[in-house]
Amino acid sequence: MDLLLQVIANGLTVGGTYALGAIGVSLVFGVLNIINFGQGASYTVAAYIAMVLMVSAGAPVVVAFAGGIVAAFVVGWIVERIAVRPLRDQPLLMSLITTMGLGLIIENLAHFIFGPQTQPLSPTLTADVFQLGMITVSTWELVTLAVVVAAIACLHYVLHHTDFGTAVRAVAEDRRAAQLLGIDVDRLIVVSFCIASAMGGAAGVLGAALYNSIYPTMGSLSMTKAFAASVLGGMEQIAGAIVGGLLLGIAESVTSVYLSSAWRDAIAFGLLVAVLVVKPTGLLGRRGLDKVERTNLSIFPLPPVPKLDLRQPLLALPIAIAIALPLVVTDTYYLRILTIMAMSGTIALSLNLIAGFAGLVSLGHAAFYGFGAYATAILSTRYGVPTWISMGIAIAATGVFGALFAWPMMRLRGHYVAMGTFGLSGVVWMVMLNWVDLTRGPMGIRAIPAPSFFGSELRGVGFYYLILAILVISTFVVLALLNSPFGRALRAMRDDELGMASVGVDPRVIKAKVFVVSAAIAGAAGAFWAHYISFISPDSFTPVASISYLAMVVLGGLGSVPGAIFGGAVLAALPELLRFASEYRLAIYGLIMVLIILFRTQGLLGRRHDIPSRKAPVARRAVVKEVG
């Protein structure tokens, strides 16, 4: 009993920091109807600024913490001005990509300045411990709870008892109407964004103080938990975010004590998925999905789909060049880069089916790629299955896995799909990391055999031709499907699901098929990778890796087949060629995502939209609103 109380008390404190972050997520979602995937940067920046103030400037703790929170406030301003405001009239999903990109850049900046290692917030930071009845609490736990309560009280007062708060709620209900009433919507949005970011910053410094440790990617993990808490509470509900945060904290605390601490971080991912599957509106949500439907991407016409005809130069020429390249490029290092380029092109090609053509922004692609890699690695090392057969099985299994993966996504739209796939990808990653008996956990799987071809083991050039074959076959499969009734339905679904259903095509069937094909192709790339590199570990298959695949598709142009392959190849080659920058690969990806969306939204090879963009988001309305 004592232990349980203690566990719950610990969970409440940590949950308090999750609640703060979740409030930030919910506030932004309520006002702008977008999810700020750059929220993680607020945590990181606030914590590092607090550390600098304390350790380098010798500032008192209170000043340092306030400084950190102010810095997070400024980060909010930067993110809003750069990644959100310029895209006000674009499909809402565009800001998902830019905020994510900006978040990656800022996080990597911390990495650049302070190094990748985990360090103490302050070496002199101490905590007294008190006995409160049956439970023990530390100063930091008490401070955390006090700050959480104070922050929530302040926010409640501001939202419900000031003109500013009334205006915020008015904008959340109907931005255009609020604008007509003379509310300065731009200012209000930026201030809300800053407040949300400051909430994240507060969570960042408090979390750092609780564990007295900081590291550059701390923000991403905290952000995941804020998402989970916010979704659990019903997205738009401040009260829901608080309840969600506290519940998540307690659930984690209970899990790590009574089950296993290894699975602690899996709770957030699992919860995210479970809530979205079972009750997407969350515990306290009212409105749910109808507000989210406007996140469509259909503002962009897709570039013409190349015909499936080998005689056209667009198809024949690149294939001929790719086949001839090893005659010129004999250096093993460059051959290796070419191989990686072809592999990334394959993955981007497959993700483009989901993100570009189906219009579902999936942040879960690393799960497919990783599933294929692990499936073939486990089959060939543990069960001695011949490599070609195990690769075949891995591809088929990943396809099936894709269908399972798609099933919970069926009911979701827009940002919810992004969060759901992100969560699922996290669950898969956690399984790779923690199901040690099967996957060998963080140690990874070694000595994965190379396939043999006519009696000799595949080596450098052989591997290059293997992945090239996979890429070419995949391209043919994709083009064959796009140039068919299925392909037309796929593109139609991106424009209007309801319209498509009304002509007798079930959107769920289309989605399931597209996920199966996409997953199988990504699985083929993963299976190739496992045998090529002969060692795999969960590090290559994190949700962050999924984001980099999305960056490839965005660079090439959502919905452009050559664009995706091109984007994948270029982004894979870039960090290799810029050796000095390879550590900042993610920052480069982030920068590309931001720049492309801001200045060439349709991507390098996408098609520009040629009519005024203001009309499209209005034309789309939820079914419910069509009531005569």
Partner 1 sequence: MRNALLEVTDLSRRFGGLTAVDGLNFHVNDGEIVSIIGPNGAGKTTAFNLITCIYPPSAGAISFDGLNLVGLPLHRIAAAGIGRTFQNLRVFANLTARENILVGLTRHARASFLETLFHGGRFRAEEEALAAEADRLVALLDLTPVADQLVRNLPYGDQRRVEIARALATKPKILLLDEPAAGMTPPEIEELNGMIRRLRDELGKTVLMVEHHMSLVMEISDRIIVMDQGRKIAEGTPDEVRSNPLVISAYLGSGVV
Tokens 């997953």 correspond to 519
Hey, which residues between 595 and 614 contact partner 1 (CB under 8 A)?
A: 610-611
Window of 7-15, 65-73, 126-134, 481-489 that interacts with partner 1 by CB under 8 A: 481-489
In the complex, the smallest distance separating the C-beta of residue 292 from partner 1, rounded to whole angstroms, is 18
User: By CB under 8 A, is residue 503 in contact with partner 1?
Assistant: yes
Between the two ends of the chain, the Cα-to-Cα distance in Å is 58
| Of 81, 92, 93, 102, the residue nearest 186 (C-alpha) | 81
Among 500, 514, 530, 564, binds partner 1 (CB under 8 A): 500
User: By CB under 8 A, is residue 288 in contact with partner 1?
Assistant: no
Among 505, 522, 547, 551, binds partner 1 (CB under 8 A): 505
Tokens 């008390």 correspond to 9
| Of 214, 249, 237, 327, the residue nearest 283 (C-alpha) | 237
DSSP labels, 492-525: HHHH-HHHHHHTT--HHHHHHHHHHHHHHHHHHH
- Measured CA distances, 292 to 47, 221, 277, 414, 465 (Å): 32, 24, 16, 6, 44
Q: What is the DSSP letter of 312?
A: S
Measured from the CB atom, the residue of 296 and 548 that comes closer to partner 1 is 296
Among 111, 365, 413, 494, binds partner 1 (CB under 8 A): 494
Residue 35, amino acid: I
Measured from the CB atom, the residue of 175 and 491 that comes closer to partner 1 is 491
Measured from the CB atom, the residue of 354 and 505 that comes closer to partner 1 is 505
In the complex, the smallest distance separating the C-beta of residue 470 from partner 1, rounded to whole angstroms, is 15
| Tally of CA atoms within 13 A in the half-sphere of 361 that contains its CB | 27
User: By CB under 8 A, is residue 261 in contact with partner 1?
Assistant: no
Among 294, 365, 415, 491, binds partner 1 (CB under 8 A): 491
Q: What is the H or E stretch that residue 155 is in?
A: helix 139-161
Contacts of 89 (CB under 8 A, 6+ apart): 613, 614, 617
Measured from the CB atom, the residue of 112 and 486 that comes closer to partner 1 is 486
User: By CB under 8 A, is residue 616 in contact with partner 1?
Assistant: yes
Measured from the CB atom, the residue of 57 and 623 that comes closer to partner 1 is 623
Among 180, 278, 327, 627, binds partner 1 (CB under 8 A): 627
User: By CB under 8 A, is residue 504 in contact with partner 1?
Assistant: yes
User: By CB under 8 A, is residue 486 in contact with partner 1?
Assistant: yes
Among 146, 498, 578, 595, binds partner 1 (CB under 8 A): 498
Measured from the CB atom, the residue of 435 and 476 that comes closer to partner 1 is 476
Tell me the C-alpha distance between 194 and 244, whole Å: 22
Tell me the C-alpha distance between 325 and 321, whole Å: 6
User: By CB under 8 A, is residue 2 in contact with partner 1?
Assistant: no
β partners of residue 452? 457
Tell me the C-alpha distance between 348 and 358, whole Å: 14
User: By CB under 8 A, is residue 293 in contact with partner 1?
Assistant: no
Among 127, 142, 274, 308, binds partner 1 (CB under 8 A): 308
DSSP labels, 356-397: IIS----S-HHHHHHHHHHHHHHHHHHS---HHHHHHHHHHH
Tokens 């069509």 correspond to 626
User: By CB under 8 A, is residue 565 in contact with partner 1?
Assistant: no
Contact 611, 298 (CB under 8 A): no
Among 85, 156, 488, 600, binds partner 1 (CB under 8 A): 488
In the complex, the smallest distance separating the C-beta of residue 82 from partner 1, rounded to whole angstroms, is 28
Structure token digits, residue 560: 């452009």
User: By CB under 8 A, is residue 484 in contact with partner 1?
Assistant: yes
How many residues belong to the site for partner 1 (CB under 8 A)? 39
Window of 16-24, 301-309, 373-381, 568-576 that interacts with partner 1 by CB under 8 A: 301-309
Among 283, 477, 604, 622, binds partner 1 (CB under 8 A): 477
User: By CB under 8 A, is residue 300 in contact with partner 1?
Assistant: yes
Among 205, 272, 302, 391, binds partner 1 (CB under 8 A): 302
Buried b (16+ CB within 10 A) or exposed e, 589-611: bbbbbbebbbeebbbbbbbeeee
User: By CB under 8 A, is residue 280 in contact with partner 1?
Assistant: no
β partners of residue 457? 452
Orientation of helix 414-434 relative to helix 365-382, angle to 10°: 20
Among 182, 485, 579, 580, binds partner 1 (CB under 8 A): 485
Hey, how many other C-beta atoms are within 10 angstroms of the C-beta on 133? 8
User: By CB under 8 A, is residue 480 in contact with partner 1?
Assistant: yes
Hey, which residues between 507 and 536 contact partner 1 (CB under 8 A)?
A: 507
User: By CB under 8 A, is residue 102 in contact with partner 1?
Assistant: no
User: By CB under 8 A, is residue 489 in contact with partner 1?
Assistant: yes
| Of 349, 367, 558, the residue nearest 468 (C-alpha) | 349
Applying CB under 8 A, the residues found at the interface with partner 1 are: 298, 300-302, 308, 477, 480-481, 483-486, 488-489, 491-492, 494-496, 498-507, 610-611, 616, 619, 621, 623-624, 626-628
